[in-house]
Amino acid sequence: MAERREDAASPLQELSKLTATLAIGMILEEWRQSEIEQIGTAEPTAYDTLAWKQTEFLLREAIDNLPPNEAFIVRQHYLNGVGFRQIAVALGLSNGRISQLHGRALGRLHGRLAKAG
């Protein structure tokens, strides 16, 4: 019977990491949508506005600290709505590599945001 390595992540840890990464992606997508819509019909509360501003500040700071290609991918994809194919052409990389860098960037953002709060 194969012995499990102690440093290997458990399925629960992997699921937790995946969930957090997806949440970061959703936050970034919401950020992009809010930039596009500039707040819909409902007027946000002062608390909501402050919470969003703090989240936006932390995200911008975290993105600014990513390696250049990863930061470019996150900005282009989430803030400008550019697809991975177009980003791949712009960077001269394959779609698969863009996907890898995107995943790595979201992982880094998750780590930095988890440390921040």
What 3 state SS string does the chain have? Answer: CCCCCCCCCCHHHHHHHHHHHHHHHHHHHHHHHHHHHCCCCCCCCHHHHHHHHHHHHHHHHHHHCCCHHHHHHHHHHHHCCCCHHHHHHHHCCCHHHHHHHHHHHHHHHHHHHHHHC
Distance from C-alpha of 92 to C-alpha of 97, rounded to nearest angstrom:
10
> In angstroms, how far is CA 55 from the centroid of its own chain?
12
Mean pLDDT of the chain: 79
- The pLDDT, as a whole number, for residue 33 is 65
Q: Is the pTM of this model over 0.95?
A: no
Average pLDDT over residues 105-109: 89
For the beta carbon of residue 79, count every other beta carbon within 10 angstroms: 15
Q: Domain extents for the chain?
A: 23-34+47-116
- The pLDDT, as a whole number, for residue 12 is 63
- Which band of pLDDT confidence, cut at 50, 70 and 90, is reported for residue 1? very low
pLDDT in tens, 51-87: 778 888 888 888 999 999 999 999 999 888 899 999 9
Task: Confirm or reject CATH 1.10.10.10 for domain 23-34+47-116, answering yes or no.
Answer: yes
